[in-house]
C-alpha cells in the first residue's frame, strides 16, 4: 500500500480484486448489458408466443416463468445495475473525489450480483420450474402454490437486496463526504443529485422487500400465516408490503435516468439547465410522494373507499413535480443551439416517450378508471414507455455520451443515429398497440388471447423483434469503438458539455482527482 | 407467417386507426363504452383524462418541436443564456395542480358510486378456483343453487388443430345468469390463490381473495351475453379462465332459476339410484372434459396432473381413487373435488377414468359408493 | 469550470485501498450460505435433494462468510492503527454505519407494519367488521377477533375438514396470551425483566463511553463488560421465554398470525441483540487484549454502541406493541 499512482493490475485478478470505481463501474455496465440480453431473450419468447393466438411454442406454465424472469431480470439485473455502474463511473469524477467512499465494499456490492443471478436463473432447471408468479410474486401463488425453486428465488432477492443496500450506502457516503472543497450541494450536477436521492430510496425500501420475502420464506417453510386468512393473516398484506417497496422502486429506476438527461440536454442545447434548483426540489418531492402512493397498484383489492381516495389523490400529485421536470427540460431546449448527436436523439426520444408513459400513468392513477385498465396490456404499455423508453433510452444516451470519455475513442455517429431511429420506430410499433389491446380488454400475463387482439399482437411482436435486433447495432458500435474507434483526446468531447468529468484527460486516467480540484466559486452548478 | 399476412396485419391496424372508436370488434382501439350506467361513467372519465393529456402533450411537444426545428445550431441559431425564473416555475406547478383537481372531482364521485353496493336484490357468491369460477346464488331460504363455470374452448382449438371459433377463449360451459334492470351484488372470494373477476362491459373488476370477501355490483339494462376474463395471475392456466354473464329478462331468469332448482333436486334423487355403466360413462366423459382435461389431458396422458391412463391409483383400490378425487392431493394442483362436484358427478367421473383411456377395469362406481366412502 | 491539481492546504490524502480479495471471499461465503440454506430448507419441506450435502454447503458457506468478515474487520482496524485513515475516511465509516442502521430500521418497519395491519385491519375484517369485511361471516362464521387472537379463523369454523377454503396449512391456537395479563404476577413476567435489562445495558454502554472519553480504560472495560453480560442475560431470558411459549403457552410459529408476528418480531430482535452483543464483546476483547481505542479514536466501539442503542429502541417498541398494547 502506498501513495504512488498506479495503473490497473493485469489479468483476471484486476477485475476480481479491484477497488477502483472505474473498473467496478465497467463491470456493472457489462453485467447489466448481459442481463439486458437475457431479459430480452425472455421477452422475445413472450412475444413469439403471442405472435398469433393459440399455443405454439411454449406451455402456459413456462410462459409464466418467462414473464416472471423477464420482469425480474430486467428490473434487478439490467436497469438497476446499469445505473449503479454509471454512478460508479461518474459520481467520483463529477464531484471531484478520488474514488468511492468505501471501495472494497463497492467491489463486494458488484460481485454479489453475478452469482445471485446465476442462482435465480438456475431455478429454470429445477424441479417444477422457475418462479411463475410474476415479478410481483403475490402470495399465496408465490407461497403455498409455488414450485420448490421459490426458496432459491427468495434467497436470490435477499442477495440482490444486500448488494443494492451496500451499493447505495456507498453512494450516499461518497456524495455526502467526498465532494471536492467548494462543491456545495447546490453545485452538484443533477445526475449526482438524482442518485443521492435514489440511493436514499434504495436504503429505505430494499430492507422492506427483504422483509416481504422473509415472511414468504416463513410461510412456506415454518408454518407461519402472514399471508393466509385461515391463520388470521391476509394475502393482501403481502401486496401492501411489496408495493411499499415496489412503487419507490419504479422511481429508483427513473430518477437516475432523469439525472442523465439533465446532463445531456443542456450539453446539446448549449445552454445551462433551466431551473436547476426546482429540478432538485422536484426530484425530492417525487421521492417523498413515492412513499405514500403504493396502493395505486391495488385499487381492485377491495380497500376501504377512504384509502382508495387517499392513494388516488397522492398518486395524481406526482404529476406535478414530474411535470416541473418535463417543462424544465423543454425550456432548456428553448432558444438553445440544438444539435442532434446520438445522445441527444435518445434524450429527446426519452422526453417524448417518457411523457407519454407518464400520461398513461396519470390515467392509471384515477381509481375508477383503473378498474378497467388494471392488469391489462394498457398497464404493460404504460410501464414499458417509462421503463424502456424512459430508463433504457436514457441509459443508452448515457453510454453514447460518456463512451468517448471512458475509452478515448469516438463511436460511429451515423451508426448511432441509425440505432436510434430503428429503436424508436421498433419500440413504438411494439408498445403503442399494447394501449389498444389493453383498452379493448386483453389481460396481461396470458399466453394466449381472444381473436380480436390478434392483429395488434402481431404488430407488437414485430416491433419487439425490430427493437431487440437494433440492440445488435448498439453492441457492435460499442465494441467497435473500444477496439478500433477514432481516437479523441480533447478533454471536452462535446463542445456544450459542462462538469468536472470534462476537465480530466480523455480517456479518463485510471485514477482521477487524487488531489481535489479547485472549484470556481463563481461558477454555478453543472 | 407469410409476408402477406404481416402486411395485412399492419394494414388492418392502420385501417382500424381510421375507423370509428366504439365498435367492439376486431382491432378495437379504445375502451368499450359498456352497457351499464357505471360503465359509461367510467368511459367518460377515461375519455376526459385522455383528452386532457392529449392537449397537454400537444402543447409540451409543440414547444419542444418548435425549438427542435428553429433553434438549431446547424441553422446558426445562437443560444440564449436564461436558466431560471421563479415565476414560471410557480406557474407550471400551480396550473397542473388545478388541472388535477379538475380531474379528481368526477373521479371521486364515480369512485363513490362504484363502492355503493347497498340494496342489491340478488347476491351471488363468486368463488375463484384454479382455473374456473363457481357461482352460488345466495337464497334467504337456504335453497342455494351453485355451479361451476369452465372454459369450453376445446383443446384442439387452443393447440391449433382446429379452426378457432369467434368466442375463442371467451366461452364457458355454464354462464352466470342474471336478470336485467336488477341490482345484482357479486360477493367475490377464492378457494386457492387470488383471482380477479372482470366484466369490461359492465365496468366491474374486483379481486377474488382467498379468505376474504369483496363486493361488486351491477345493474344491466340490456339483455345479452357479456364476456370477460380472470385478470389476476393465478397460475398456469390464468389465461384460460373466462367470465361469461348472460343477462336475460326477469321471466327468463325465473324460468332458468326453477330449472336449476329442479336440476339440483334431480341430482339428489339420482344420488340414491343405481346407474348403468353407459349412463355413468357418458356423464363422466362430460365432467372429465369439463373439469379434469386441462390437467390430465384429453387422452388421460397427463400434463399439469399425473397421467390417468395406466395410473396405479386409477387401476387399483377404489378407496384411494375416491380419496384423491374427493380430497385432492395437498400441496399440488390436484384439488379436493368432493366439495366441488356432486356425489353423482364423482361417481361418474371416477367410473369414467377407470374405464377410459385403455383403463378397462370394468368397474362401476355408484353414487351410493361415494356417499358411503364419504361417511367413512 | 476551472480546476487545478495543486494540493489545497490542510488536505489529507483519502486512502483508496489497493485491490483486495476480501469482496470475492465474502461473496463466496454469502452465496454459499444462502444456497446451502435453500437446499436445507427445501430438503426439510419438500424432501428434495440430499440433506447431508445441503448441510455441508451451508456450513462451509457460513464458515467462509464469518471468517472473511473477521479478516475484513481486522484489515480495517490495522489500517487505522497504521494511521492510514484520514479524518475524511473515518467520516465515511460513520456515514456507512448510520445508513446501515437506518436500513435495519426499515427492515423492522416491514414487520411492525405487518403487525399493525393485521391487528387493525385484516383481523376485524375476517370477523366481518367494516365496509371491506361485512360479508366475511359467510366464510368464517363464528370467528371473533381479539388481540391477541385466541383462536384462528380456521379453528373457529372447525378446522380444515370443515372449511378448506383459503387453507394454507393447519394453524393451531395458542393456549395462553403472552401479553401482560395479571398485575399480581408482574415479577414473574419475563418481558418486563428483559426491558429493564436492555434499558440498563444501554445505560452501561454509555457509562463505558464516558470512561473511554475520560481516558479511563478500566472504567471502560468494566462497564462494557457489564453491558455484554446484560446482553447475554437478555438472550438467555429470551430463550427461556421461547421455551415457555412452546412448552406451556402452546404458542408456536404455527399459532396463526399471533405466533407469526410474535416470533418474527422478537426473533429478529433477539438475533440483532445477539449480533450487537457479539460486536460489543469483540470491542471488549480488543480493549483488554490489544489496548485498542483512545479517547479520540474509537470508532469500532462507537459503531457497536450505536447499534446497541438501536436494538434497544426497537425493543421498546416491541415491548409496547407486542406485549403491552
Ligand atoms: C420507471 C418506472 C415508472 C414510472 C416513472 C412510473 C410513473 C407513474 N406511474 Fe407507473 N408503473 C410502473 C413503472 C413506472 N411508473 C410499473 C413497472 C408498473 C406496473 C407494475 C406491475 O404491476 O407489474 C406501473 C403501474 C402503475 C399503476 C398501477 C396500474 C395497475 O396495475 O392497475 C399506476 C396507477 O396509478 C401507475 C401510475 C403512475 C404515475 C401516476 C406515474 C407518474 O410518475 C407519472 C408522472 C408523469 C407525467 C404525468 C407526465 C409529465 C407531466 C406533465 C407534462 C405535467 C402536466 C400533466 C398533467 C397535469 C396531466 N403506474
Ligand atoms: C426495465 C425493465 C424492462 C425492459 C427493458 C423490458 C423490455 C421489454 N419487454 Fe418487458 N416487462 C417488464 C420490464 C421490462 N421489459 C416488467 C417489469 C414486466 C412485468 C412482468 C410481470 O408481469 O411480472 C414486463 C412484461 C412484459 C410483457 C408482458 C408479459 C405478460 O404480461 O405476459 C411483454 C410482452 O410483450 C414485454 C415485452 C418486452 C419487450 C419486447 C422488451 C424489449 O424492450 C426487450 C428488447 C431487448 C432485447 C431483445 C435484448 C437485446 C437484444 C440483442 C442483444 C439482440 C439479439 C436479439 C434479437 C435478434 C431479437 N414485457
Ligand atoms: Cu384466475 Cu387468473
Ligand atoms: Cu406505482
Write out pLDDT tens, residues B176-193: 999 999 999 999 999 889
Helices (H) and strands (E) in chain C, counts: 10, 0
Write down the residue that cell numbers 436494538 correspond to: C311
Which chain C residue is nearest to residue A109, measuring alpha carbons?
C23
Contact: C166, B190; criterion CB under 8 Å: yes
For range C120-126, the mean pLDDT: 92
Cα A360 to ligand 1 centre (Å)? 7
> Which ligand is located closest to the Cα atom of residue A318?
1
Percent of residues, chain C, with pLDDT higher than 90: 53
- Give the relative orientation of helices B86-114 and A305-317 as an angle to the nearest 10 degrees: 160
Q: Does B161 touch chain A (CB under 8 A)?
A: no
Count of alpha carbons within 13 angstroms of residue A509, beta-carbon side: 11
A456-470, B121-135, C153-167: the lowest-pLDDT one: C153-167
| C-alpha cell at position B24 | 367492439
Distance (Å, whole) CA B221 – CA C309: 65
Ligand 3 binding pocket (C-beta < 6 A) is B 128, 131, 195, 230, 232-234, 238, 241
What are the two backbone dihedrals, phi and then psi, of residue B261, each rounded to the nearest 5 degrees?
-65, -45
Q: What is the pLDDT of residues A65-120, one digit of tens each?
A: 999 999 999 999 999 999 999 999 999 999 999 999 999 999 999 999 999 999 99
- pLDDT given at position A383: 97
Cα A358 to ligand 1 centre (Å)? 5
- Quickly list DSSP for C234-272: HHHHHHHHHHHIIIII---TTSHHHHHHHHHHHHHHHHH
For range C17-43, the mean pLDDT: 92
> Which ligand is located closest to the Cα atom of residue A65?
2
**Residues in chain A within 8 Å Cβ distance of B238:** 60, 64, 445-446
Cα A46 to ligand 2 centre (Å)? 8
Q: Tell me: pLDDT of C131 over 50.
A: yes
Candidates C117, C127, C139: best to mutate against B (most CBs of B within 10 A) is C139
Chain B adjacent subunits, 3+ CB pairs under 8 A:
A, C
What are the two backbone dihedrals, phi and then psi, of residue B218, each rounded to the nearest 5 degrees?
-155, 155
Atom of ligand 3 nearest to the CA of B230: 2
| C-alpha cell at position C136 | 366475511
Q: What is the pLDDT of residues A6-63, one digit of tens each?
A: 677 778 888 889 999 999 999 999 999 999 999 999 999 999 999 999 999 999 999 9
> For residue C56, how many other CB atoms are within 10 A of its CB?
15
- pLDDT given at position A233: 92
What residues does the ion ligand 4 have nearby, CB within 5 Å?
A: A 247
Using only the alpha carbons of chain C, give its radius of gyration.
25
Q: Does B117 touch chain A (CB under 8 A)?
A: no
Distance (Å, whole) CA A79 – CA A66: 18
Average pLDDT over all residues of chain A: 93
- Each residue's pLDDT, cut to its tens digit, for chain B (376 residues) gives 455 555 555 555 554 544 433 334 567 888 888 899 999 999 999 999 999 999 999 999 999 999 999 999 888 888 888 888 899 999 999 999 999 999 999 999 999 999 988 888 999 999 999 889 999 998 777 677 888 898 988 888 998 988 999 999 999 989 999 999 999 999 999 988 999 999 999 999 999 999 999 999 999 999 999 999 999 999 989 999 999 999 999 999 999 998 988 888 887 787 777 888 888 898 899 889 878 887 888 888 887 788 998 888 998 888 899 988 988 876 667 877 887 788 888 999 999 999 988 888 888 888 888 888 877 7
For range C169-198, the mean pLDDT: 74
Atom of ligand 2 nearest to the CA of A392: 5
Tell me whether 0.85 is exceeded by the ipTM: yes
- pLDDT given at position A506: 86
Residues 6+ apart with CB under 8 A from C172: C152, C155, C250, C252, C254, C255, C256
Which chain A residue is nearest to residue B304, measuring alpha carbons?
A61
Look at residues C320, C251, C288, C282 and name the one whose alpha carbon lies nearest to residue C73: C282
Q: Topology of B31-114 in CATH?
A: Helix Hairpins (1.10.287)
Architecture field, domain A30-502: Up-down Bundle (1.20)
The conformation of residue B291, written as its DSSP 8-state character, comes to I
A109-118, A297-306, C293-302: the lowest-pLDDT one: C293-302
For range C296-321, the mean pLDDT: 93
Count of alpha carbons within 13 angstroms of residue C48, beta-carbon side: 14
| C-alpha cell at position B30 | 379504445
Contact: B111, A330; criterion CB under 8 Å: no
- pLDDT given at position C147: 83
Q: What is the pLDDT of residues C220-265, one digit of tens each?
A: 999 999 999 999 999 999 999 898 888 888 888 888 899 999 999 9
- Which of B49, B207, B333 has the CB atom closest to A369's CB atom? B49
Beta strands B242-248 and B176-179 are: parallel
3-state secondary structure of C294: coil
Answer whether the bond into residue C148 is a cis peptide, omega within 30°.
yes
Say if residues B106 and B45 touch (Cβ distance below 8 Å): yes
Cα A323 to ligand 2 centre (Å)? 27
Candidates C161, C166, C169: best to mutate against B (most CBs of B within 10 A) is C166
Residues 334-373 in B contacting A (C-alpha not used; CB under 8 Å): none
**Residues in chain B within 8 Å Cβ distance of C131:** 115
Quick one: residue B300, left, alpha or beta (phi over 0 = left, psi -120 to 50 = alpha)?
left
Residue range C175-325 forms a domain whose CATH class is: mainly alpha
| C-alpha cell at position B307 | 397421467
- The CA dihedral of A292, A296, A300, A305, to the nearest 10 degrees, is 50
Residue A436 CA from chain centroid, whole number: 25
Quick one: residue C252, left, alpha or beta (phi over 0 = left, psi -120 to 50 = alpha)?
beta
Distance (Å, whole) CA B335 – CA B349: 14
Atom of ligand 3 nearest to the CA of B208: 1
Cα B296 to ligand 1 centre (Å)? 42
Write down the residue that cell numbers 470512561 correspond to: C211
Quick one: residue B235, left, alpha or beta (phi over 0 = left, psi -120 to 50 = alpha)?
left
What does the domain layout of chain B look like in residue ranges? 31-114, 122-268, 272-375
Distance (Å, whole) CA A275 – CA A323: 13
Q: What is the pLDDT of residues A353-404, one digit of tens each?
A: 999 999 999 999 999 999 999 999 999 999 999 999 999 999 999 999 999 9
- Which of A308, A338, A451 has the CB atom closest to B168's CB atom? A451
Partners of B146 in the β-ladder? B136
- pLDDT given at position B337: 85
Distance (Å, whole) CA A361 – CA A434: 14
- pLDDT given at position B25: 57
> Which ligand is located closest to the Cα atom of residue A300?
1
Residue predicted with more confidence, B338 or C312: C312
Residue range B122-268 forms a domain whose CATH class is: mainly beta
- pLDDT given at position C51: 86
- Quickly list DSSP for A144-191: TTS-TTHHHHHHHHHHHHHHHHHHHHHHHHHHHH-PPTT--GGGS-HH
Domain boundaries B272-375, corresponding CATH code? 1.10.760.10
What are the two backbone dihedrals, phi and then psi, of residue B361, each rounded to the nearest 5 degrees?
-80, -25
Considering the entire predicted model, what is its pTM? 0.93
Distance (Å, whole) CA B90 – CA B82: 17
Q: Does B205 touch chain A (CB under 8 A)?
A: yes
- Which of C125, C131, C164 has the CB atom closest to B212's CB atom? C125
Distance (Å, whole) CA B72 – CA A25: 34
Chain A adjacent subunits, 3+ CB pairs under 8 A:
B, C
Q: Decide whether any atom of ligand 1 lies within 6 Å of the A247 Cβ.
A: no
Q: Tell me: pLDDT of A176 over 60.
A: yes
Amino acid at each position: 500500500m502506498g501513495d504512488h499512482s498506479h495503473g490497473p493490475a493485469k489479468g483476471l485478478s484486476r477485475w476480481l480484486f479491484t477497488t477502483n470505481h472505474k473498473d467496478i463501474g465497467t463491470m456493472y455496465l457489462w453485467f447489466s448489458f448481459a442481463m439486458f440480453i437475457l431479459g430480452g431473450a425472455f421477452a422475445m419468447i413472450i412475444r413469439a408466443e403471442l405472435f398469433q393466438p393459440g399455443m405454439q411454442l411454449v406451455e402456459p406454465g413456462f410462459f409464466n416463468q418467462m414473464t416472471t424472469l423477464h420482469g425480474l431480470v430486467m428490473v434487478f439485473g439490467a436497469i438497476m445495475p446499469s445505473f449503479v455502474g454509471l454512478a460508479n463511473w461518474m459520481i467520483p469524477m463529477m464531484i471531484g473525489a478520488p474514488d468511492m467512499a468505501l471501495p472494497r465494499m463497492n467491489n463486494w456490492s458488484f460481485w454479489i450480483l453475478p452469482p445471485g443471478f446465476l442462482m435465480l436463473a438456475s431455478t429454470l432447471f429445477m424441479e417444477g420450474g422457475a418462479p411463475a408468479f410474476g415479478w410481483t410474486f403475490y402470495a399465496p401463488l408465490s407461497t403455498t402454490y409455488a414450485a420448490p425453486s421459490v426458496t432459491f428465488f427468495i434467497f436470490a432477492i435477499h442477495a440482490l437486496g444486500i448488494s443494492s443496500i451496500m451499493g447505495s450506502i456507498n453512494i450516499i457516503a461518497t456524495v455526502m463526504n467526498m465532494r471536492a472543497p467548494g462543491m456545495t450541494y447546490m453545485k452538484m450536477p443533477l445526475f449526482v443529485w438524482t442518485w443521492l436521492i435514489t440511493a436514499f430510496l434504495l436504503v429505505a425500501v430494499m430492507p422492506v422487500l427483504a422483509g416481504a420475502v422473509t415472511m414468504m420464506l416463513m410461510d412456506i417453510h415454518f408454518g407461519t400465516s402472514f399471508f393466509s386468512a385461515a391463520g388470521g393473516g391476509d394475502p393482501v398484506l403481502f401486496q401492501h408490503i411489496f408495493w411499499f417497496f415496489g412503487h419507490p422502486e419504479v422511481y429508483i429506476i427513473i430518477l437516475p435516468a432523469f439525472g442523465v438527461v439533465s446532463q445531456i440536454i443542456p450539453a446539446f442545447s448549449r445552454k445551462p439547465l433551466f431551473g436547476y434548483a426546482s429540478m432538485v426540489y422536484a426530484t425530492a418531492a417525487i421521492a417523498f410522494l413515492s412513499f405514500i402512493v403504493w396502493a395505486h397498484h391495488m385499487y381492485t383489492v377491495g380497500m376501504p373507499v377512504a384509502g382508495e381516495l387517499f392513494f388516488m389523490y397522492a398518486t395524481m400529485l406526482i404529476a406535478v413535480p414530474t411535470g416541473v421536470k418535463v417543462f424544465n427540460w423543454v425550456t432548456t431546449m428553448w432558444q438553445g443551439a440544438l444539435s442532434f448527436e446520438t445522445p441527444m436523439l435518445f434524450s429527446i426520444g426519452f422526453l417524448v416517450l417518457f411523457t407519454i408513459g407518464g400520461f398513461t400513468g396519470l390515467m392509471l392513477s384515477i381509481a375508477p378508471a383503473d378498474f378497467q385498465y388494471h392488469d391489462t396490456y394498457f398497464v404493460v404499455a404504460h410501464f414499458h414507455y417509462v421503463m424502456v423508453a424512459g430508463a433504457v433510452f436514457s441509459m443508452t444516451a448515457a453510454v453514447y455520451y460518456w463512451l468517448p470519455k471512458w475509452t478515448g475513442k469516438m463511436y460511429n455517429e451515423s451508426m448511432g443515429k441509425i440505432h436510434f431511429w430503428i429503436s424508436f420506430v421498433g419500440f413504438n410499433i411494439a408498445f403503442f398497440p399494447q394501449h389498444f389491446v389493453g383498452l379493448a380488454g386483453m389481460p396481461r400475463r396470458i399466453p394466449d388471447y381472444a381473436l380480436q387482439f390478434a392483429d395488434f399482437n402481431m404488430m407488437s411482436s414485430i416491433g419487439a423483434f425490430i427493437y431487440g435486433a437494433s440492440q445488435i447495432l448498439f453492441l457492435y458500435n460499442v465494441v467497435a469503438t473500444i477496439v478500433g474507434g477514432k481516437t479523441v483526446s480533447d478533454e471536452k468531447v462535446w463542445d456544450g458539455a459542462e462538469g468536472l468529468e470534462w476537465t480530466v484527460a480523455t480517456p479518463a486516467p485510471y485514477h482521477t482527482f487524487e488531489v481535489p480540484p479547485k472549484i470556481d466559486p463563481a461558477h454555478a452548478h453543472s | 407467417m407469410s409476408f402477406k399476412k404481416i402486411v395485412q396485419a399492419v394494414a388492418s391496424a392502420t385501417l382500424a386507426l381510421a375507423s370509428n372508436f366504439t365498435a367492439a370488434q376486431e382491432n378495437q382501439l379504445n375502451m368499450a363504452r359498456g352497457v351499464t350506467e357505471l360503465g359509461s361513467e367510467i368511459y367518460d372519465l377515461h375519455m376526459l383524462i385522455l383528452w386532457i393529456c392529449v392537449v397537454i402533450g400537444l402543447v409540451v411537444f409543440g414547444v419542444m418541436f418548435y425549438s427542435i426545428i428553429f433553434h438549431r445550431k446547424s441553422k446558426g441559431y445562437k443560444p440564449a443564456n436564461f436558466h431560471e425564473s421563479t415565476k414560471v416555475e410557480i406557474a407550471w406547478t400551480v396550473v397542473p395542480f388545478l388541472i388535477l383537481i379538475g380531474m379528481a372531482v368526477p373521479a371521486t364521485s364515480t369512485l363513490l358510486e362504484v363502492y355503493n353496493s347497498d340494496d342489491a336484490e340478488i347476491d351471488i357468491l363468486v368463488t375463484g378456483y384454479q382455473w374456473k369460477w363457481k357461482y352460488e346464488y345466495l337464497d334467504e331460504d337456504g335453497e342455494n343453487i351453485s355451479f361451476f363455470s369452465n372454459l369450453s374452448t376445446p383443446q384442439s382449438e387452443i393447440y391449433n388443430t382446429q379452426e378457432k371459433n369467434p368466442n375463442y377463449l371467451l366461452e364457458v360451459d355454464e354462464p352466470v345468469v342474471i336478470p336485467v334492470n336488477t341490482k345484482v351484488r357479486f360477493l367475490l372470494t377464492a378457494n386457492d390463490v387470488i383471482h380477479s373477476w372482470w366484466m369490461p362491459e359492465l365496468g366491474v373488476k374486483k379481486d377474488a381473495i382467498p379468505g376474504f370477501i369483496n363486493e361488486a355490483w351491477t345493474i344491466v339494462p340490456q339483455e345479452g351475453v357479456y364476456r370477460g376474463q380472470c385478470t389476476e395471475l393465478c397460475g398456469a392456466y390464468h389465461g384460460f379462465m373466462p367470465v361469461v354473464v348472460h343477462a336475460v329478462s326477469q321471466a327468463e331468469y325465473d324460468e332458468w332459476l326453477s330449472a336449476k332448482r329442479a336440476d339440483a333436486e334431480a341430482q339428489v334423487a339420482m344420488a340414491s339410484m343405481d346407474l348403468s355403466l353407459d349412463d355413468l360413462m357418458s356423464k363422466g366423459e362430460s365432467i372429465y372434459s369439463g373439469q379434469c382435461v386441462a390437467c390430465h389431458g384429453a387422452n388421460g396422458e397427463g400434463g399439469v396432473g399425473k397421467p390417468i391412463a395406466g395410473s396405479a391409483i386409477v387401476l387399483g383400490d377404489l378407496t384411494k381413487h375416491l380419496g384423491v378425487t374427493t380430497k385432492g392431493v395437498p400441496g399440488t394442483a390436484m384439488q379436493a373435488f368432493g366439495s366441488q362436484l356432486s356425489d353423482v358427478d364423482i361417481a361418474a367421473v371416477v367410473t369414467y377414468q377407470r374405464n377410459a383411456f385403455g383403463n378397462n377395469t370394468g368397474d362401476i362406481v355408484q353414487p351410493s359408493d361415494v356417499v358411503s366412502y364419504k361417511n367413512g | 469550470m476551472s480546476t487545478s491539481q495543486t494540493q489545497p492546504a490542510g488536505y489529507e490524502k483519502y486512502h483508496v485501498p489497493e485491490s483486495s480479495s476480501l469482496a470475492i471471499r465474502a461473496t463466496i461465503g454469502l452465496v454459499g450460505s444462502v444456497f446451502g440454506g435453500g437446499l436445507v430448507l427445501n430438503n426439510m419441506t419438500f424432501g428434495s435433494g440430499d440433506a447431508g450435502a445441503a448441510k455441508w454447503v451451508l456450513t462451509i458457506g457460513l464458515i467462509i462468510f464469518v471468517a472473511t468478515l473477521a479478516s475484513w474487520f481486522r484489515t480495517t482496524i490495522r489500517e487505522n492503527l497504521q494511521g492510514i485513515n484520514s479524518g475524511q475516511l473515518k467520516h465515511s465509516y460513520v456515514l456507512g454505519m448510520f445508513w446501515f442502521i437506518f436500513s435495519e430500521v426499515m427492515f423492522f418497519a416491514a414487520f411492525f407494519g405487518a403487525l399493525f395491519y393485521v391487528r387493525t385491519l385484516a383481523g376485524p375484517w375476517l370477523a366481518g367488521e367494516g365496509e371491506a369485511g361485512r360479508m366475511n361471516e359467510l366464510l368464517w362464521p363464528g370467528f371473533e377477533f381479539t388481540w391477541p387472537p385466541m383462536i384462528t379463523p380456521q379453528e373457529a369454523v372447525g378446522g380444515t375438514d370443515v372449511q378448506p377454503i383459503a387453507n394454507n396449512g393447519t394453524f393451531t391456537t395458542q393456549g395462553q396470551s403472552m401479553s401482560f395479563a395479571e398485575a399480581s404476577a408482574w415479577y414473574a413476567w419475563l418481558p418486563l425483566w428483559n426491558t429493564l435489562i436492555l434499558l440498563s445495558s444501554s445505560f452501561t454502554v454509555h457509562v463505558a463511553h464516558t470512561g473511554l472519553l475520560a481516558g479511563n480504560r478500566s472504567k471502560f472495560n468494566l462497564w462494557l463488560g457489564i453491558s455484554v453480560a446484560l446482553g447475554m442475560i437478555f438472550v438467555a431470558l429470551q430463550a427461556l421465554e421461547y421455551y415457555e411459549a412452546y412448552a406451556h403457552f402452546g404458542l408456536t410459529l404455527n399459532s396463526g398470525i399471533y405466533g407469526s408476528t410474535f416470533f418474527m418480531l422478537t426473533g429478529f430482535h433477539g438475533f440483532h441483540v445477539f449480533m450487537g452483543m457479539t460486536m460489543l464483546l469483540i470491542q471488549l476483547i480488543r480493549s483488554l487484549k490489544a489496548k485498542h481505542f483512545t479517547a479520540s479514536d474509537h470508532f469500532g466501539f462507537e459503531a457497536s454502541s450505536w447499534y446497541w442503542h438501536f436494538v434497544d429502541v426497537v425493543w421498546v417498541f416491541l415491548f409496547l406493541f407486542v406485549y403491552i398494547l
